[in-house]
Chains A and B, each alone.
Chain A
Amino acid sequence: MKFLAPLLGVVIYLALQAAVAGRIAIGSIAPDFVVVCVVLFGLQRGSVQGSLFGFFVGFLVDLSNPGYLGLNALTKCLLGFAAGGLGAAASPGLLVLAIVFFVGALAHDFVYLLIYLWPGVGSALLTRALPSALYTAVAGVAVERILALLGAKVVTSFGKERQY
């Protein structure tokens, strides 16, 4: 069960990304549910599991874009590590959680676009990364709220590694 729940979560979030993200996109700006998934997992499980999980999920995403195999694995493992290492911050309200999602998505896209579009990364940060990070933050909070309403164990406090 310890490994089954994260695997099931990965499948659900990848399905959300593949089937829903495109449909709720505003223009070409879509939320990144995979980033939401990695951040939530990192917050729950800490740096070690967060980075391992991020690498695994990122590698799965890379399989669909094989010209850059390893890029998503790298960025999402960093994201999982950072989310897991937030430390003993104050207990999060929705605003703090939204900021975590926003900063996480922005930093993730910054590293991603820096490598992917090098050296022409300038405008993409403004036109793609920034609005996308905002959208991801909103989607992330919505997902967290829905999970909470369903009774799932979601982020209730930073700093302590939670177990299912």
Chain B
Amino acid sequence: MTIGSIPLRFKVEIDPELCMLCGRCVENCSYGVYRMEGDKIRVNSRNCVACHRCTAFCPRDAISIYEKPTDYRSHPVWTREIREAVFNQAKTGKIILAGMGNVLPYPMIFDRLLLDACQVTNPSIDPLREPMELRTYIGKKPIALSLKEYPNGDADLLTKLSPNLQIETPIMIGHMSYGAISLPAQQALAKAVSRIGTFMGTGEGGLHESLYPYQKNIIVQVASGRFGVDINYLERGAAIEIKIGQGAKPGIGGHLPGEKVCADVSCTRMIPEGSDAISPAPHHDIYSIEDLKQLVRSLKEATEWKKPVFVKIAAVHNAAAIAAGIARSSADAVVIDGFRGGTGAAPVVFRDHVGIPIEAAVASVDAKLRQQGIRNEVSIIASGGIRQSADVAKVICLGADAVYIGTSALVAMGCRVCGTCNRGQCAWGIATQKPELTKRLDPETNAVQVENLIHGWTLELAELMGAAGINSIESLRGNRDRLRGYMLDEGLLNVLDVKTMGA
């Protein structure tokens, strides 16, 4: 061992004046930071990931956690993270894995876009007094309607509409599989979406029986591993989503390690217990856009053309052209997953370096579809890096119909974004399959928290719309006129088709 130990990432301290030796930290820490030795609590800071489970349950606020207690010699090129990655790989010779989303300090485009409000020339609308419509339909819309109108004012609708999902707020919960997250976590999300009148995705891990009561608010996913897919699964979903790629790791597949494939996961995924669940990088029946079309249509055929079929892609450089291809494949919605999207586990090199931000991807996809006159063929669902209601409003102004949230829903259940989902030790019972940890998460309590979050965002969206003099979400969609760029460069302003502030 020539490299020796790497400086601590976190230092944990217990204030002996405050500590009453209750041992809750010892019980709660799933990473082995604490141990009780006689009348003392010993700390091993090296194990700490800053998930804050201990501080959240310490009744005396006795615990403090400090980040990076040891300084490196500062260097603008050879940052601490770069050096530690080299140490890590020099020792292991492996690909470095991590959880959650992109950690590099790229500028947030959302934070450089400003929303508009009315003053004098048009009145703002008070959502407490006037109707404010956030209802959104996800799916194919006709380009024009054909009506037979009668002199008495009656009219027959001759156009047949494709199936659409009706949501009461443009916020849905994205696909996080059973396997990546725990069953109680999925149950909490399912309860929340069914009460709000929105939808959640199963992820590629199948649909556990205990979620059947919520199936009319669940979108089932078909990914390259085809885990848990049979006709029963397809028929239970309100919609079907084909996952081509994911924002956190565009271009590669997934890998659920065998130790997470417990009996229940094995049944739901339809694979042997303890076996690795490997999703290949491409679908082995999709090597071109026409193959995708066949799969879309096969899924529709299997479910008698009663369900919308979505296609999810990672936001990559050519997302606009790919989305235009998808729009012509009979798909009903395209999901664009930006490079800040979270994940249970991904190679760091992909998570941090591959793909583009959702803001630019949605803007270019919407523009391309309109240019080709096929915007009505598909809805656009934006995901990956939606952190707050303002982001929802902004991405809708850029052209999205609705959003998927992931990380923020997990944070609403206690997740502290410690980024170690890949280790399966989640002390909050979210990203783990260990029964002693998953039982920590009460689906009912957490459903209320997730519901509160979406409800709060929905109220804020309604206020933002009212302030902008808009009482229907359709009029926000693609309304780039109501956005201004805050010190964005001209090239990006052109892509976003947004004017600079003051203009």
Instruction: Say whether A associates with B.
Output: no
Q: Which residues of A contact B (CB under 8 A)?
A: none
Q: Which residues of B contact A (CB under 8 A)?
A: none
